[in-house]
Amino acid sequence: MISPERSPSQSPRAPAAPAAGAPFLSIYVTDPVKMGTGVQAYISYRVITKTNLPEFEGPEKIVIRRYSDFEWLHDRLAERYKGIFIPPLPEKNAVEKFRFSKEFIELRRQALDLFVNRIASHPELKQSEVLRVFLQADEEKMDRARSYETGIFKKPADFLQMFKDVQSKVSDVVLGKEKPVEESTPEYEKLKNYIFELENHLAEAQKQAYRLVKRHRELGQSLAEFGKAIKLLGACEGDVMEKVFSEVGSKSEMLSIKLQREADNLLFNFEEPLKDYVRAVQSIKATMMDRANAFRQHFDLDQERKYKELNLEKLKFMNPEKYAEAESEFRELKADSEEATKKFEHIVRLMNEELARFQEQKTADIGLAFHEFAKGQAKLAKDIADAWRSILPKLEACSTSQV
């Protein structure tokens, strides 16, 4: 039993509706459809954009997208917005036999819907050109954008940088350089420990939530089978026993349906939000890796600058002929070093802002997930108690009459 498809405006985790006349950008990922057959099969989605922002082509646009298009959007944002926590995508792969199940498709649709709406609500990401391409380009233009950005038409400068990166790594191995220095301040160490602990605890909570879903489904299935069995037993007995046992069987089957519904509620509104935040923490770790790379570049260039600055002073007196050339190289290196320092400091500043936003959103989302969990469990417990309580008088009367 699968929860019905909901638009972002109906989702418990969707952003609040804008005030009348205020700028807005709302995105709806709807209508998943299986395309193709065999190993070439995939799911396409209608992506509906509604907005009053002037940089968009009109108030409403509908395009068809597949998972790899969402992946393209994610990767381009990750490349261009270092220091920002890019909203996570749902997992790329699934067990083949479940890949096109209704449950998996709906879970992925909701996760993709959440992904694009998080981007649309982010103060920086919502202004990106790649988001507008994703939301507005027709399929032909989208294919061209993906081909150009993902490697078919790589720019020469990209190949040059790739060659330099590989050359540097090979040199490090050959020369036996020590492990690159890492940023180590008490505040950052505390942050790293928190992120790793948060990931572990969220993953464990999500695992236990999955077990709750599984147990609700198993109990629901057992009650359905018990209901059928007890009805057959009553038919065998006849008279009063048949009527009472039939009612017990009907209550069991009714509770089976309620348990299956609560299992779906747990899956979509409790386990999935926890899994989503496991993915979100992995996005934070990816940003931390960008920060580590920026710090190493800043540190290495700063060390090289200091070293060449000392050599430049020596060269000024020992070899004046080469001084002018060395001074020009030093100025270029100094500019690169200052740029690397600015880049690192920019990432640090963005990360601090992102962490504050993440904590606020996490508190709201996880709090809502646990509220939905408690509310569902309380209602289920009441329904179970009411169902069994309603037939106690008949069972007591039946047992008394047999004495």
Which residues in the chain come in under a pLDDT of 50?
3-15, 152-155, 159, 166, 170, 173-175, 403
Sign of the torsion angle spanned by Cα atoms 100, 101, 106, 108: negative
| 143 shares its domain with 222 | no
Residue 379 is assigned to a structural domain of this protein? yes
Residue span of the structural domain in which 328 resides: 186-400
Kindly state whether residues 143 and 194 are assigned to the same domain.
no
Tell me which of 126, 149, 172 is where a domain ends.
149
pLDDT single digits (tens) 349-367: 999 999 999 999 999 999 9
Question: Is 155 domain-assigned?
Answer: no
Q: Both 119 and 223 in a single domain?
A: no
Q: Which residues contact 389 (CB under 8 A, 6 or more apart)?
A: none
Q: How many domains does the chain have?
A: 2
- Non-local (6+) Cβ contacts of 81 within 8 A are 124, 125, 128
- Do the domain assignments include residue 269? yes
Place of tokens 């089978």: 225
DSSP letter at 28?
E
**pTM greater than 0.85:** no
Do 376 and 268 lie in one domain? The reply is yes
| Residue at 46 is within a domain | yes
Which CATH number fits the domain that encloses residue 378?
1.20.1270.60
pLDDT digits (tens, 9 = 90+) for 267-299: 999 999 999 999 999 999 999 999 999 999 999
C-alpha 92/C-alpha 145 separation (Å) is 21
Same domain, 253 and 367: yes
- Report the CATH number at residue 108: 3.30.1520.10
Q: Are residues 128 and 196 both part of a single domain? A: no
Does residue 162 sit within a domain?
Answer: no
Asked if 204 and 275 sit in the same domain, the reply is: yes
Q: What is the pLDDT of residue 9?
A: 37
Examine residue 192 and state whether it is found in any structural domain, yes or no.
yes
What pLDDT is recorded for position 22?
84
Last residue of a domain, one of 132, 149, 166: 149
* pLDDT for residue 95: 60
Is residue 323 domain-shared with residue 256, that is, in the same domain? yes
Return the pLDDT at 178.
54
Statement to judge: residues 143 and 192 lie in one domain: no
Whether 173 is covered by a domain: the verdict is no
Identify whether residues 102 and 195 lie together within a single domain: no
Asked if residue 374 and residue 238 are part of one domain, the reply reads: yes
In a domain, 166, yes or no: no
Q: Reduced to 3 DSSP states, what percent helix, strand and coil does the chain have, rounded to the nearest 5? A: 75, 5, 20
Are 201 and 333 within one domain?
yes
